[in-house]
């Protein structure tokens, strides 16, 4: 049965699913005027015949694809984080109630939305996520092999690099307590490890190739503490950065600002909030830690600021503060075409 759109609908809320989508339409006054259920194909046909309107949906797998399709059809597609929709859910939770809550949330003037990403950003983000999963698998495999060796009284040094040296030394030694069965299993684990490291190297090369051919990534890599991984991860997650009003908003989005719990006129600041994309935040903090160790305090623009910071706070706090500053510089580069980071001592930090 074909469901025709209401011509007076101003806002739509969609509760997304794998096969079934629930929709609620609101008029200009915010009153529900239509409720419907669609399959994936009929939903697009419905919006193809509907007048241009704002369409809201929760951030979830598939929301980016649907948002791009709706934008192509002339609609204003908005993606909302699920936690910002929950306060608008009334009474019992159903798919239709969720769709109505989304439609109401999308009308709020202070609502925050997820940026609609391009297919290139999705592909780049997928590369990073696959690489991160492979690295976690490599760490788990190494830890498993270490534990097996400890059962035979063989301890190894920490670090993935020396692991290869130590375990091969134990496997080649015929005087330790390793059984033939365990030696065979450890050699199989080493074969699995070699395969994982080969895949990690391939993906890392693909990411680096993208970083060196993309103009924005090359400009981001002029910032201390940002390399090919950090630059491409920022591009994939933040896009052009224009969804943030100022540089601090991007740092807050990555959880690099203090969490605040203030009441009764008394301000209470805690540790960093750790909100947002933990993977990008981790890359920036690791980059800041490397920068903290190797940055030339005399010749670099950040030198005086970093030296003063070291004198008044703990090293770990200084690293996070440096990551915050790096993020703000990255926002300026993302939002200003052609902008580069100035490394000279006289340049503004």
Instruction: Specify the long-range contacts of residues 206-212, CB closer than 8 Å, at least 24 apart.
Output: 206/127, 207/124, 207/127, 207/128, 207/131, 207/232, 210/124, 210/127
Q: To the nearest 10°, the Cα dihedral for 155, 159, 164, 167?
A: 10
User: Which CATH number covers residue 63?
Assistant: 3.30.420.140
> Is 2 part of a structural domain of the chain?
no
Same-domain status, 184 and 219 = no
> Is 1 part of a structural domain of the chain?
no
Same-domain status, 54 and 138 = no
- What does the mean pLDDT of the chain come to? 91
Same-domain status, 260 and 202 = no
Same-domain status, 328 and 219 = yes
**Cα dihedral 335, 337, 342, 347 sign:** negative
Judge if pTM exceeds 0.75: yes
Q: Are 220 and 239 in contact (CB under 8 A)?
A: no
Same-domain status, 258 and 290 = yes
> Is 327 part of a structural domain of the chain?
yes
Q: Strand 54-58 relative to strand 11-15: parallel, antiparallel, unpaired?
A: parallel
Same-domain status, 82 and 128 = no
Q: How much is the pLDDT for 174?
A: 87
- The one-character DSSP state at 86 is G
Same-domain status, 231 and 331 = yes
Provide the domain count of the chain: 3
| Predicted confidence (pLDDT) at residue 64 exceeds the cutoff of 90 | yes
**pLDDT single digits (tens) 108-137:** 999 999 999 999 999 999 999 999 999 999
Integer Cα distance of 134 and 202 in angstroms: 11
Rg of the chain (C-alpha set): 26
Q: Strand 269-272 relative to strand 54-58: parallel, antiparallel, unpaired?
A: unpaired
Q: Are 4 and 49 in contact (CB under 8 A)?
A: yes
Last residue of a domain, one of 161, 180, 213: 213
* Least confident segment among 1-5, 55-59, 69-73, 197-201: 1-5
Last residue of a domain, one of 72, 105, 138: 105
Range of the structural domain that residue 255 is part of? 215-335
> Is 342 part of a structural domain of the chain?
no
Q: How much is the pLDDT for 343?
A: 67
Same-domain status, 200 and 280 = no
The SS3 of residue 5 is coil
Q: How much is the pLDDT for 346?
A: 47
- The one-character DSSP state at 16 is -
> What distances in angstroms separate CA 200 from CA 136, 164, 194, 217, 244, one per listed residue?
11, 16, 10, 21, 32
Q: Strand 32-39 relative to strand 54-58: parallel, antiparallel, unpaired?
A: unpaired
Measured CA angle at 26 (ends 20, 28), to 5 deg:
155
Alpha helices for the chain (secondary structure H): 40-49, 63-72, 82-85, 95-105, 119-150, 160-172, 180-213, 215-220, 228-238, 247-253, 278-294, 303-312, 315-335
> Is 5 part of a structural domain of the chain?
no
Same-domain status, 228 and 330 = yes
| Residue 235 main-chain phi, psi, to 5 deg | -60, -40
Measured CA angle at 289 (ends 160, 124), to 5 deg:
70
Q: Are 256 and 288 in contact (CB under 8 A)?
A: no
> Is 49 part of a structural domain of the chain?
yes
Q: How much is the pLDDT for 308?
A: 87
Neighbours of 140 (CB within 10 A): 11
> Is 26 part of a structural domain of the chain?
yes
> Is 3 part of a structural domain of the chain?
no
What six digits make up the tokens of 191? Answer: 């074969």
Q: Is 57 left (phi over 0), alpha (psi -120 to 50) or beta?
A: beta
Q: Are 229 and 241 in contact (CB under 8 A)?
A: no
Last residue of a domain, one of 184, 213, 242: 213
Same-domain status, 162 and 100 = no
| Predicted confidence (pLDDT) at residue 349 exceeds the cutoff of 60 | no
Q: Strand 76-80 relative to strand 54-58: parallel, antiparallel, unpaired?
A: parallel
Same-domain status, 61 and 126 = no
Q: How much is the pLDDT for 344?
A: 57
Same-domain status, 305 and 194 = no
**pLDDT single digits (tens) 211-261:** 999 999 999 999 999 999 999 999 999 999 999 999 999 999 999 998 888
């Amino acid at each position: 049965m074909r469901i025709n759109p209401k011509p007076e609908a101003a806002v739509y809320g969609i509760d997304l699913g794998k096969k079934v989508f629930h929709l609620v339409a609101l008029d200009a006054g915010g009153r529900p005027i239509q409720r419907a259920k669609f399959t994936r194909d009929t939903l697009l046909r419905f919006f193809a015949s509907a007048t241009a309107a704002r369409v809201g949906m929760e951030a979830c797998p598939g929301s980016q694809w649907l948002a791009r399709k709706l934008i192509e059809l002339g609609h204003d597609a908005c993606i909302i984080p699920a936690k910002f929709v929950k306060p608008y859910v009334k009474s019992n939770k159903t798919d239709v109630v969720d769709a109505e809550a989304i439609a109401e949330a999308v009308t709020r003037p202070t609502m925050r939305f997820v940026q609609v990403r391009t297919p290139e950003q999705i592909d780049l983000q997928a590369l990073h996520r696959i690489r991160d999963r492979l690295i976690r698998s490599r760490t788990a495999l190494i830890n498993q092999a270490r534990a097996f060796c400890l059962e035979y009284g063989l301890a190894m040094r920490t670090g993935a690099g020396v692991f290869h040296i130590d375990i091969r030394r134990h496997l080649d030694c015929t005087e330790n307590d390793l059984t033939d069965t365990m030696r065979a299993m450890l050699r199989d684990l080493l074969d699995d490890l070699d395969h994982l490291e080969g895949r990690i190297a391939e993906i890392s090369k693909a990411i680096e190739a993208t970083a060196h051919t993309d103009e924005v990534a090359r400009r981001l890599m002029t910032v201390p503490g940002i390399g090919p991984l950090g630059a491409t991860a920022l591009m994939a997650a933040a896009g052009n950065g224009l969804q943030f009003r100022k540089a601090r908003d991007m740092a807050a989005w990555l959880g690099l600002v203090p969490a605040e719990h203030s009441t009764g006129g008394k301000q209470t600041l805690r540790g960093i909030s750790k909100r947002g994309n933990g993977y990008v935040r981790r890359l920036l903090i690791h980059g800041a830690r490397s920068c903290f160790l190797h940055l030339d305090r005399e010749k670099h623009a950040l030198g005086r600021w970093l030296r003063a910071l070291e004198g008044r706070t703990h090293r770990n706090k200084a690293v996070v503060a440096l990551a915050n500053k790096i993020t703000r510089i990255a926002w300026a580069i993302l939002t200003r075409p052609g902008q580069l980071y100035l490394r000279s001592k006289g340049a503004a930090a």
